[in-house]
């Protein structure tokens, strides 16, 4: 399952779920648009985690939970703690991050 944030509440989602994987993106980001369907595909293949898409520009508090200085950034959280991230437009790198998180 995948959630797209409609408010700046990523911290709540992280607190309520064991494993959370986040795509930080922006509407103007071409690589973000390319990676979004791939991220959604991974969410259907990995039911052990909650997948979230967060607009890094609209939701600054959510952005602060990871070091987001390039887009797209993918971050993992486990038991409420930040675990790691990658800034990539390569599916293999994203898939490896997801596999390590789950």
Write out the catalytic residue numbers. 29, 32
What are the tokens at 57? 């520009």
Q: State CA 32 to chain mean position distance.
A: 11
Cα(71)–Cα(17) distance, integer angstroms: 24
- Strand positions, DSSP E, the chain: 2-4, 19-25, 50-55, 73-78, 81-87
């Amino acid at each position: 399952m995948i959630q797209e944030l409609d408010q700046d509440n990523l911290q709540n989602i992280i607190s309520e779920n064991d494993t959370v994987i986040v795509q930080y993106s922006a509407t103007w980001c071409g690589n973000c648009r390319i990676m979004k369907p791939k991220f959604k595909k991974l969410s259907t293949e990995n039911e052990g985690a909650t997948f979230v898409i967060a607009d890094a520009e609209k939701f600054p508090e959510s952005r602060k939970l990871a070091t987001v200085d390039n887009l797209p950034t993918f971050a993992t959280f486990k038991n409420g703690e930040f675990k790691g991230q990658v800034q990539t437009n390569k599916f293999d790198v994203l898939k490896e991050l997801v596999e390590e998180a789950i």
